[in-house]
Amino acid sequence: RGKSEMGDFSSLGLSDWLVKQCKQLGINKPTPVQENCMPAILQGRDCMGCAKTGSGKTAAFVLPVLQKLSEDPYGIFCLVLTPTRSLAYQIAEQFRVLGKPLGLKECIIVGGMDMVTQALELSNQPHVVVATPGRLADHIRSSNTFSMKRIQFLILDEADRLLEQGCTDFTKDLEVILEILPAKRQTMLFSATLTDTLQELKSIAMNEPFFWESKSETRTVEELDQRYILTPEKVKDAYLVHLIQTFTDEHDDWSIIIFTNTCKSCQILTMMLREFNFPTISLHSMMKQKQRFANLAKFKASVYKILIATDVAARGLDIPTVQVVINHNTPGLPKIYIHRVGRTARAGRNGVSITLVTQYDIHLIHSIEEQIQTKLKEYPVEEKEVLKILTQVNVTRRECEIKLESTDFDEKKEINKRKQLILEGKVSAGERQSKINDSVSSFYRAKSPW
């Protein structure tokens, strides 16, 4: 049967040049989601793929698109939508690297970057557009310098997030986008957590989609060691400092992501850990896009070993050096837990996740355990060591809080929100104030969810 063997990329229908590109990136053997979804996609079917975090879903859609594009190259050929800006950059990067021999033109359309430059790039007929829905919808509303009438592929990465009505609601923007796409196209939906939103998803993928879900008892990966620490709220930060101290003492090459629930908490923890001289950097939605991008790049390059982030970083990010995920707050939804801890133990590597659990979060842990079909194990800690640093940590935290209060951090948040609402032109003058009031109160709710 020639040079191709069962179970490699050529036998799935990829051309030699693409197989070679994969090899160069150390992608030799298809993962199950790739092996199962790619043939269906290459046959022209719609596809919904649900596979665990870090299992290669990105290449499962990038490779077939590049294959088809090379057979008939034009722009705009493919549109990828994704919930966060950093994820858009990461997906575009995969297209760029794998599609290099094609001279692939890709273009990234996300908020926080210059609209005029983006409009120009869109009018230049890029092969692939990777976008967050809000900004792409803005372009559609404001200009007619580009057409998506001929796209062949629409991909929704993290599809369940795009279609659920969360704090950022994408559904209005999606409507605007779907309006300008041709009905005849291939639609693909991917996520590690598709099944909860299956019905909504089916309405987007129209042509009897090929549905594939990785069969497994658990919803998290085997290579992940999942732990918890039971702690009173007041001792949480001392545990955090202790954990980081231990990890950095024992391992040179480890990176750590710490998830927390609000932008403000993210900012305070970053300031606090820096007081303890830990190389810490943050990522949250109140930062300017350029800053977010720069911070993430420094974390990826291990210039900073510790990233403190809100759930804006929970999904999709692929950073091989991340060995540890710490949940500074217990996620309220099992789904968010699954994505957060999935930032480590990717592509067959090992990893640890540690969730800090207060007495008020125990029911949350139970529902997480039930969903993932795995019991979290207690993480052993020398409590004496933690108590030794308790006062110092809490005093430092308080100092950081005071420092932050003297800046305009809260105020900036409100100004940003107001600007956003007005920019979006979604609210009339009357509605405006009440929406702002809503967002203020939800901000305070978010601050103390228990």
Residues making contact with ligand ATP (CB under 6 A): 27, 29-31, 34, 51, 53-59, 192, 316, 318, 342, 346-347
Nearer to Mg ion, 57 or 242 (CB): 57
Looking at 41-49, 167-175, 177-185, 312-320, which segment touches Mg ion (CB under 5 A)? 312-320
Nearer to ligand ATP, 127 or 346 (CB): 346
Give me the least distance between CB of 282 and ligand ATP, in Å please.
21
Which of 67, 61, 60, 66 shows the shortest CA–CA distance to 30?
Answer: 60
Euclidean distance between the first and the last CA atom of the chain, given in angstroms as a whole number = 62
Query: Which residue lies nearest Mg ion, judged by its C-beta?
Result: 316
Give me the least distance between CB of 316 and ligand ATP, in Å please.
4
Residue 56 makes contact with Mg ion by CB under 5 A: no
Give me the least distance between CB of 226 and Mg ion, in Å please.
20
Give me the least distance between CB of 51 and Mg ion, in Å please.
9
Other Cβ atoms within 10 Å of 121 Cβ, number:
17
**Sheet harboring 106-109: ordered strands across?**
106-109, 128-131, 78-81, 153-157, 186-191, 47-50, 210-213
Nearer to ligand ATP, 55 or 197 (CB): 55
Other Cβ atoms within 10 Å of 223 Cβ, number:
14
CA distance 157 to 401: 37
99 binds, among Mg ion, ligand ATP, none (CB under 5 to 8 A by kind): none
Give me the least distance between CB of 155 and Mg ion, in Å please.
11
133 binds, among ligand ATP, Mg ion, none (CB under 5 to 8 A by kind): none
Token pair in block for residue 132: 């967050």
30 binds, among ligand ATP, Mg ion, none (CB under 5 to 8 A by kind): ligand ATP
Token pair in block for residue 169: 């609601």
Nearer to Mg ion, 148 or 189 (CB): 189
Which of 85, 84, 49, 82 shows the shortest CA–CA distance to 64?
Answer: 49
Give me the least distance between CB of 323 and ligand ATP, in Å please.
15
Classify 143 in phi/psi space as left (phi over 0), alpha (psi -120 to 50) or beta: beta
The residue from 316, 334, 342, 351 that contacts Mg ion (CB under 5 A) is 316
Token pair in block for residue 42: 């290459």
Residue 209 makes contact with Mg ion by CB under 5 A: no
Classify 13 in phi/psi space as left (phi over 0), alpha (psi -120 to 50) or beta: left
Which of 260, 256, 254, 239 shows the shortest CA–CA distance to 314?
Answer: 260
Nearer to Mg ion, 57 or 135 (CB): 57
Asked whether 189 and 47 are in contact (CB, 8 A), the reply is yes
Give me the least distance between CB of 320 and ligand ATP, in Å please.
6
56 binds, among Mg ion, ligand ATP, none (CB under 5 to 8 A by kind): ligand ATP
Residue 54 makes contact with Mg ion by CB under 5 A: no
Phi–psi pair at 367, nearest 5 degrees: -70, -30
Give me the least distance between CB of 154 and ligand ATP, in Å please.
17
Q: Do β-strands 255-259 and 106-109 pair in parallel, antiparallel, or remain unpaired? A: unpaired
Residue 134 makes contact with Mg ion by CB under 5 A: no
Handedness of CA 436, 440, 446, 450 (dihedral sign): negative
Nearer to Mg ion, 25 or 395 (CB): 25
CA distance 281 to 332: 24
Q: Which residues bind Mg ion (CB under 5 A)?
A: 57, 316
